[in-house]
A and B are shown apart, each in its own frame.
Chain A
Amino acid sequence: MKIAVCVSNVPDTATKIKIGADGKSIESAGVTYIINPYDEYAIEEALKTKEKTGGEVVVISLGADASKETIRKALAMGADQGVLLKKDGCYDSFSVAQALAEEIKAQNCELVFMGKQSVDYDNCITGQLTAEILGYNCISVVVNFKLEGNKITAEREIEGGREVVETELPAIITTQKGLNEPRYASLKGIMASKKKVIEEKPAKDMSDLTEIIRLTIPSAKQPGRIIGTDASAVSELVRLLREEAKVI
């Protein structure tokens, strides 16, 4: 079976961001880009599944040239093939999902892993959108995954616990921390990845359904009041919570 993993290239959450001149995107100069952390769980689960069922893992990313680094990382971890769908500055999940769906179909992948969320626009929907476009089943925010023949049993996180969900292939699974421990690329893997070719092609142009009007940096909250430095401040804190904030 051929398994697909979709990965996105995102600014490291720890880096400072600045709004670009258009007011709608972020300034990329000075930003460190990394593989989306939740996609590492997706790669790991794809590799683990391949080790059990055989087959191949293809990594797909839609983005600018810089996304090649991210694909390369997945290849170094053990994926077999990489595809870059070239497109700059795409933020609309629906457009991304349509392009990914097309490639997944062309690659004939019955099982797809994605992260639960990209830490750039924090949409958390690309997996569900892509599945619905393809007519695949989908389980999101998965922390436990089992495949037997055609049948999938997975656990997803919900408020106050977990849901145990059953479905069948073809399916898209979106991954959450806790599912597995992503492996490190071995030196051998890194060397081998350099020989693997990344196929590049333009992403099909889709019309966006959402439109960013602007991005703003939230105005810094008034710095909080430091009431004191020891237990003598406690009665004042309780008074403020009761009388000013009225929350207790």
Chain B
Amino acid sequence: MAKIILAAIEQREGKLKRNAFEVMSTAKRLADELGLQPIAICIGNNIDGLGEAATTYGITKVIHYRSSELENYSPSAYTDIISAYGKEIEAEYLIFSNTSLGRDLAPRTAVRLSAGCLIDCIYLRNTNGEVIALRPVFAGKAIMEAKINGEVKVFTIRPNVFKTETAGDKVKADVEIREIGNPNLGTKVIAVKKSEGKLDVAEADIIVSGGRGLKGPENFKLIEELAEVLGGAVGASRAVVDAGWRNHGEQVGQTGKTVSPKLYIACGISGAIQHLAGMSTSRYIVAINKDKDAPIFNIADYGIAGDLFEIIPALTEEIRKIK
């Protein structure tokens, strides 16, 4: 068996996503620990800075499957391409990001390669030559420690949790471009409907979220203003999405998005388990809630147990002063 770890990296509109760097960096780290060669694969049309990114993160080779028809995701074509390449190079490990695309693509690829698949890992470590994964289960109430038996192993890693480290030994990555003439478009994305221009919670470094404690949709102005001074995104609990105050795209939690920003500010959110499932791996959590016994305080780093209508405007003002 060839000793290769394949980093499957993602582009949108020709730009590499930040999680692509996390995937490459994780592949490189495991490659060093396990004595493997790290290779990256990216599918798309024109992709900016692929070779430079690979070089930065210590990937020795990057393969770009190019087609103007594959700028958007196509589950059938992407699965065909990655699994064929995985077979060709006899990849032993494949790493994807646990994004909407990665979570869709990784299991399909795993079937084609007769591989086991572990999803949404928050930690991968090498123990005596085996990769052990940690992943939250039961809405984060338990952590599963697991491994994959079998020759080929597929993992997806939770975005924003794995560190990116630039490689010490900068060797220029070899970039190979393969044109794809006739992709299998049996299932294909024909359009992408973007939620208008706003920063998405899944991609933000700072999130300010509001819950039922805001009392009404008009009061989300407070959340929006705080998010704006911090350069962050607006998030919401399911209660306020169900009530029609906010769009589902902003929902954080099991039914919404899983986020790991560096700062998560929960305002008027009680901290139900399904909400925590989506944000408990955030680096720093701040809770503002008038009920000092609200479960959100159990996972918050800092809290203010008071009235959000008084605290949020003061916080916005204070941050505006220092910016």
Binding site for B on A (CB under 8 A): 11, 13-14, 16-17, 19, 26, 93-94, 117, 119-125, 128-129, 131-133, 137-141, 143, 155-168, 176-178, 208-218, 220-221, 223-231, 233-235, 237-238, 240-242, 245, 247-248
Q: Are the C-beta atoms of B255 and A176 separated by less than 8 Å?
A: yes
Picked from A163, A168, A216, A228, the residue with its CB within 8 Å of the CB of B72 is A163
Determine the chain B residues whose CB is within 8 A of the CB of A233 once the complex forms.
Answer: 304, 306, 311
Whether, in the assembled complex, B246 has its beta carbon less than 8 Å from a beta carbon of chain A, the answer is no
Interface residues of B in 78-114 (CB under 8 A from A): 79, 99-101, 103-104, 106-108, 110-112
Contact of A224 among B142, B190, B301 (CB under 8 A): B301
A229 to B292: give the CA distance in the assembly, Å: 9
Q: Secondary structure at chain B's binding surface: helix, strand, loop or mixed?
A: mixed
Of the listed residues B76, B107, B248, the one surrounded by the most CB atoms of chain A closer than 10 A to its CB is B107
Q: What is the CB-to-nearest-CB distance from A200 to chain B, in angstroms, rounded to a whole number?
A: 27
Q: In the docked arrangement, what's the CA distance between A234 and B316, Å?
A: 9
Question: Is there an interface contact between A160 and B116, defined as CB atoms closer than 8 Å?
Answer: no
Main secondary structure of the interface of A (DSSP, over half): mixed
Residues facing A in B275-317 (CB within 8 A) are 277, 283-287, 292, 297-307, 310-311, 314-315
Stretch at the interface among B34-42, B49-57, B130-138: B130-138
In the bound complex, how far is the Cα of B202 from the Cα of A211, in angstroms?
30
- For the complex, what is the distance from the CA of A17 to the CA of B116, rounded to whole Å? 27
**A128 CA to B104 CA in the complex, in Å?**
7
Contact B203 A234 (CB under 8 A): no
**Bound form: Cα–Cα A64–B241 in Å:** 35
Measured CB to CB, the closest approach of chain A to B130, in angstroms, equals: 10
Other-chain contact of B119, A125, A176, A220 (Cβ < 8 Å): A125
CA–CA, A133 and B114, complex, Å: 10
Instruction: Give the distance in Å from the alpha carbon of A122 to the alpha carbon of B310 in the complex.
Output: 38
Closest Cβ of chain A: how far from B194's Cβ, in Å? 4
13 chain-A/chain-B pairs, Cβ below 8 angstroms: A13-B254, A122-B254, A128-B107, A132-B111, A157-B249, A159-B257, A160-B203, A166-B187, A177-B255, A210-B148, A214-B145, A215-B145, A241-B302
Contact A13 B319 (CB under 8 A): no
- A220 engages B298 (CB within 8 Å): yes
